[in-house]
Amino acid sequence: MAFLLVIPSIDIKDGKLVRVVQGIPELNVPEYINDPVEMAEIWRAENAKMIHVVDFNGFSEHSDRNHTVVGDICDSVIIPVQYAGGIRSLEEAKRVFDYGVSRICVSTITFENIPEFQRILEQFGPSKVVVSIDVLDNRVMIRAKKQKTESTPLEHATKLRAMGVERFLITDVSRNGMLGGPDLELSKQFCANLKCKVTVSGGVRNKDELMDIQNYLPLGIDSVIVGRALYENRFPCQRLWRVAESGLFT
Range of the domain at 103: 5-245
Euclidean distance between CA atoms 225 and 79, whole angstroms: 15
* Contact present, 6 and 214 (Cβ < 8 Å): no
100 three-state secondary structure? coil
Distances (CA, A) of 93 to 61, 62, 130, 150, 182: 16, 13, 12, 27, 30
| Predicted confidence (pLDDT) per residue in 215-224, tens digit | 999 999 999 9
Res. 239: pLDDT tops 80: no
| Residue 11 covered by a domain | yes
CB 4 within 8 A of CB 217: yes
Whether the CB-CB separation of 26 and 18 falls below 8 Å is answered with yes
Task: Note whether residue 124 is domain-resident.
Answer: yes
In a domain, 220, yes or no: yes
Is 134 a known active-site residue?
yes
For residue 55, being part of any structural domain is answered with yes
Global pTM? 0.89
Residue 142 pLDDT greater than 90, yes or no: no
Cα dihedral sign, 119-123-126-130: negative
Query: What pLDDT score was predicted for residue 87?
Result: 95
CATH classification of the domain holding 58: 3.20.20.70
Structural domain contains residue 44: yes
Q: Which of 55, 134, 172, 222 is catalytic?
A: 134
If one counts the domains in the chain, the total is: 1
Give the chain's mean pLDDT. 86
| Residue 250 included in any domain | no
Tell whether 79 is covered by a domain.
yes
11 as an active site residue: the answer is yes
The whole-number pLDDT of residue 249 equals 37
